Amino acid sequence: MRFGVLRFPGSCDEVDALTACERVADARIIWHGDTDLAGVDAVVVPGGFSYGDYLRVGSIARFAPAMERVLEFAAAGGPVLGICNGFQVLCEAGLLPGALLPNVGLRFLCRQVGIEVADAETEWTRACDRGDVLSIPVKHTTGRWFAPPDLLDAVESNGQVVFRYAEGENPNGSLNDVAGVRNERGNVVGLMPHPEHAVDPLTGSADGLRLFESAVRSLAIA
């Protein structure tokens, strides 16, 4: 099994994401200008500042040639994970519900948070149990997940919230403590915290590895 990790101009977490993927399977980088995904089995859209975050976070990356292929890949049921800026890109691309707004406190946040697994049935959480609390860092300025009331109701009633910040740990003012969501089908997941930075006990937690293990398990089932 092979992961593909996208790299945009301005990405900065793609090497950590690649390293995290390589702990559980093969992985390769996919350049944003590539017009095919080189036959990978799962795609990670990593964090960073794609295209300098110009205009609106994630808005320009959405139109990269490789992203057009990711849209097709996701529509065909392929597993796609968006982390931080990657989450913002997937929301802008319409693959995931909602939008990310500046943190309520306007400050850049970099800290370890607990996130509770609200849905352990997705392609990216299968190796977790519902209710597990994972210790994973956040580092962002624009991480306040938002959806207008109708969309929020739909997301909640469809059970599309995959991760919530543990009680009292919502760092950015996200609605309903949402840290990550999925599409209706469950093959596309996005979250603001960085599982790829939590894959070795040396850096404080290896909980993030479970998302990558989940994808491997999902593909083994399929």
User: Binding residues for other proteins, per CB under 8 A?
Assistant: 55-56, 59-60, 63, 92, 98-99, 101-106, 146-148, 151, 173
* Closer by beta carbon to other proteins, 62 or else 164: 62
Tokens of 46: 């990593």
Specify whether the CB–CB gap between 97 and 147 falls below 8 A. Answer: yes
**Amino acid sitting at position 35:** T
Active site residue 84: yes
Specify whether the CB–CB gap between 33 and 57 falls below 8 A. Answer: no
Q: For the CB of residue 88, give the shortest distance to other proteins in the complex, in Å.
A: 10
| CA 13/CA 143 separation, integer angstroms | 16
* Closer by beta carbon to other proteins, 144 or else 197: 144
Q: For the CB of residue 30, give the shortest distance to other proteins in the complex, in Å.
A: 23
Partners of 31 in beta bridges? 7
* Closer by beta carbon to other proteins, 36 or else 68: 68
Q: Which of 143, 183, 131 is nearest to 161 (CA)?
A: 183
**Amino acid sitting at position 197:** H
* Closer by beta carbon to other proteins, 18 or else 100: 100
Among 14, 92, 123, 194, the one annotated catalytic: 194
Q: For the CB of residue 28, give the shortest distance to other proteins in the complex, in Å.
A: 29
Q: For the CB of residue 89, give the shortest distance to other proteins in the complex, in Å.
A: 12
Active site residue 194: yes
* Closer by beta carbon to other proteins, 99 or else 127: 99
Place of tokens 């969309």: 151
Among 14, 91, 196, 197, the one annotated catalytic: 196
Q: For the CB of residue 167, give the shortest distance to other proteins in the complex, in Å.
A: 22
Among 14, 21, 32, 84, the one annotated catalytic: 84
- Catalytic residue numbers, as ranges: 84, 194, 196
